Amino acid sequence: MSVLDIAKGMGVTLSHLFKKPVTVQYPEEKVNIQPRFRGRHHLLRHLDTGLEKCIGCSLCAAACPAYAIYVEAAENDLDHPTSAGERYASIYEINMLRCIFCGFCEEACPTGAIVLGHEFELADFRYDHFVYGKDDMLVGVKGSKWQRREAERHGRQVELGGKPTHRAELEGVDY
C-alpha cells in the first residue's frame, strides 16, 4: 500500500464529507420502496370471482430452498368452491424466520397466487407469531401480525412504514 493509495482513499472520504446525507428518519418518515422489492407474502384472489388463486399444487413449497412453506391440499367443494381448480390449499403456512425472500415461490406458482409484497416490518416477539397462515396472507390483510395486534390494542388503523410503488403482480393488494 503506497502513499498514493492512501491519498486516493482519503480523497473519496473527503468528497463524501460535504455531501448531504441520505438518512431517512424512520419511522417518522416513510421509506421509498422500489417496485421489485420482496417483502411479506400475499395470497391473491381472482378479481372477478373472489375465489382464491391457489390450487394447492405445492410447487411453491418444492421450489423453496429454505423449506419455509407448507401446503396441504384438499378437494374443492363444487357447491361452494374456495378456488377455481379441483383442489385448494386447506393449509398454507410460511415460516417467516426460515424464509429468505428469494422469490422462487412466486416464480414457481402456475396460477400467480403468491406474490411478495412491499411490507417489510415483520418483527415480533414469539416464534409462533412468525408462522403466517393462509388467513394472515390473503389479500385484504394489511400489516404483520404484530402491527395488527398493536393497531387493534390501540384502536387505530395499521400503518405501514413504506410508500410502495405500483407493481402489476400485486393485483388486488391495497396499500
In a domain, 169, yes or no: no
389479500: which residue's cell? 139
In a domain, 14, yes or no: no
pLDDT of residue 162: 80
pLDDT of residue 172: 72
pLDDT of residue 142: 87
pLDDT of residue 165: 74
pLDDT of residue 74: 95
**Average pLDDT, consecutive stretches of 10 residues, N- to C-terminus, the chain (175 residues):** 90 89 86 89 92 95 97 93 92 96 96 92 91 92 89 90 77 72
pLDDT of residue 175: 62
In a domain, 132, yes or no: yes
In a domain, 72, yes or no: yes
Q: How far apart are CA 117 and CA 26, in angstroms?
A: 20
In a domain, 12, yes or no: no
In a domain, 19, yes or no: no
Q: What is the CATH number of the domain that holds 79?
A: 3.30.70.3270
Contact 39, 169 (CB under 8 A): no
424512520: which residue's cell? 26
Q: What is the domain count for the chain?
A: 1
In a domain, 121, yes or no: yes
pLDDT of residue 88: 94
Retrieve residue 124's grid coordinates. 415480533
Structural domain of residue 98, as residue ranges? 30-163
The pTM score is 0.81
pLDDT of residue 60: 97
pLDDT of residue 56: 94
Retrieve residue 142's grid coordinates. 394489511
